[in-house]
Amino acid sequence: METFITPAEAHAIIHAQIRTLPTVKATLLAALGRFLQEDIIAQEDVPPFDNSAMDGFALCVADLSAAPVTLKITGEIAAGDTPAMSLTQGSCVRIMTGAPVPDNTAAVVPVEWTRMETDSDVRVTRMPAAGQFVRAAGRDLRRGATVLEKGVRLTPPALGLLATAGHRSVRVSAVPRVTIVVTGDELFMESGSLPPGKIRDANGPALAAQVQYAGGSLVAVHHARDDKAEVADRLDQALHESDVILFSGGVSVGNFDYVNEVFDAAGVKRHFWRVKQRPGGPLSFGMCGAQAVFGLPGNPVSSFVCFEQYVRPAMQRLMAAQWTGPELHRAVLREALAKTKGLHHFIRGIACRDVAGQLEVRTTGPQASNLYSSAAAANCLIHLPQELEHPFAGQEVDIEWLPWAVPY
Ligand code: AMP
Ligand code: MG
């Protein structure tokens, strides 16, 4: 097991240990946000037939050149119709947007370019060019063409595209199932007034939300008291139901911190414990077969930061997402900060663009790892690397947007 490693080393270990989950067929809506695991081929032409782009009149080639001209209306085609009509010189067919055009249609003239002379005679005042306002079959997608390639993330319009190409379900990687176990005798899990010495559980609800936000499937949030047998029992249960198991609390060196000991006894192969970072130093990570097991430090900010830095990438890897490290952006730091040399600091920040368009960042205030309000106010994490000693106002630093922040 590695210990006192850097965040980059921790990422590398997690990346090396975790394998993508098997693929499954998912309905389109269930596939939202997931990564496509097959190339998708168009089953049919889109649009499937030549159709009108306007409400207007379909004309044949013989009438194209002369405008103004008066034409006899010989029929009407609505969207959804299957007309067996043919156009002849001097006649036209009234047609609606999306309706199939007659076979020998040369163009569609929009209603706005015409004037009715009688109920069945229309005056064309402006002539469309050949082919104008006719949407050709296969213009969007040709049958047999690749619609989307393996690996893309499925967005709402991507799902719409799949549907138009004739697909109702697609192959994506399975969603990781995640169990959370919050540990601590001090945690009061019920509602109602707090008994003396107890605190409310922050990490259970926050981690559950982070799991959901990262695209995982939350199996359960359990509580274990600081009791070895109880912690072991929760781990055993979690190993039966999940791909990722998150413990919060009990991974440090206190007298009642049993989590790592229980991991080892249960056969979890621990790959690291302790990362040269603040917050979240006592982070622990191991594998039990293909299942990933994290011991997140109990302080709410540590738990939150460790999830975003390590658990989210692990879940992405399980879901076959490309992940090449945190996505960093340069920003001007607007205040001097205290920093411990040798540790990578993750500071909760608020970043925005100044009048010149330059990204600038401030902290959310005091940064102790028990001050949860510092996390709730943040839109980014400021990365202060290990070697940095005295971050000063005006210097450039790296920031990473939090997933729920809309980047400026
Ligand atoms: P631990 O990692 O168990 O030593 O916990 C570190 C600190 O985080 C202690 O002050 C705990 O009371 C607190 N803590 C642990 N778990 C939670 C939790 N689920 N919600 C809020 N605070 C917690
Ligand atoms: Mg504890």
- Residue 290 Cα, ligand 1 centroid: separation in angstroms? 28
Query: Does residue 66 have a pLDDT over 80?
Result: no
Cβ–ligand 1 distance for 186 under 6 Å, the answer yes
CB 7 within 8 Å of CB 326:
no
Q: Phi, psi at residue 260, to the nearest 5°?
A: -65, -40
Supply the residue whose CA is at minimum distance from atom 15 of ligand 1. Answer: 298
- Residue 274 Cα, ligand 2 centroid: separation in angstroms? 16
On whether the pTM is more than 0.85, the answer is yes
Stretch 10-36: mean pLDDT, rounded?
A: 96
Query: Does residue 246 have a pLDDT over 80?
Result: yes
- Residue 224 Cα, ligand 2 centroid: separation in angstroms? 10
Cβ–ligand 1 distance for 203 under 6 Å, the answer yes
Q: How many residues does the chain have?
A: 408
- Residue 298 Cα, ligand 1 centroid: separation in angstroms? 4
- Residue 355 Cα, ligand 1 centroid: separation in angstroms? 41
DSSP secondary structure of 110-126 = EGGGEEEEETTEEEESS
Query: Does residue 368 have a pLDDT over 90?
Result: no
Cβ–ligand 1 distance for 306 under 6 Å, the answer no
Atom of ligand 1 nearest to the CA of 254: 4
Looking at residue 301, its pLDDT comes to 96
Cβ–ligand 1 distance for 184 under 6 Å, the answer yes
**Sheet arrangement for strand 2-5:** 2-5, 269-275, 284-288, 291-296, 244-248, 177-183, 217-224
Round to whole Å and give the CA distance between 108 and 120: 17
Name the closest ligand to CA 256.
Answer: 2
Query: Does residue 408 have a pLDDT over 80?
Result: no
Name the closest ligand to CA 248.
Answer: 1
368 against 57, higher pLDDT = 57
What is the tens place of the pLDDT at every residue in 281-317?
A: 999 999 999 999 999 999 999 999 999 999 999 999 9
Average per-residue pLDDT in the chain? 96
Stated as kind and residue range, the H or E segment containing 361 is: strand 359-363
Q: How confident is the model at residue 82 (pLDDT cuts 50, 70, 90)?
A: very high
CB 173 within 8 Å of CB 20:
yes
Cβ–ligand 1 distance for 226 under 6 Å, the answer no
What is the tens place of the pLDDT at every residue in 83-129?
A: 888 999 999 999 999 999 999 999 999 999 999 999 999 999 999 99
Atom of ligand 1 nearest to the CA of 182: 19
Query: Does residue 30 have a pLDDT over 90?
Result: yes
Q: Phi, psi at residue 17, to the nearest 5°?
A: -85, -30
Query: Does residue 191 have a pLDDT over 90?
Result: yes
**What residues does the ion ligand 2 have nearby, CB within 5 Å?**
184, 249-250, 298
Name the closest ligand to CA 253.
Answer: 1
Per DSSP, 310 falls in state: I
- Residue 249 Cα, ligand 2 centroid: separation in angstroms? 5
- Residue 372 Cα, ligand 1 centroid: separation in angstroms? 12
What is the tens place of the pLDDT at every residue in 331-366?
A: 999 999 999 999 999 999 999 999 999 999 999 998
pLDDT > 90: what percent of the chain? 94
Looking at residue 29, its pLDDT comes to 97
Looking at residue 322, its pLDDT comes to 83
Looking at residue 324, its pLDDT comes to 83
Looking at residue 370, its pLDDT comes to 80
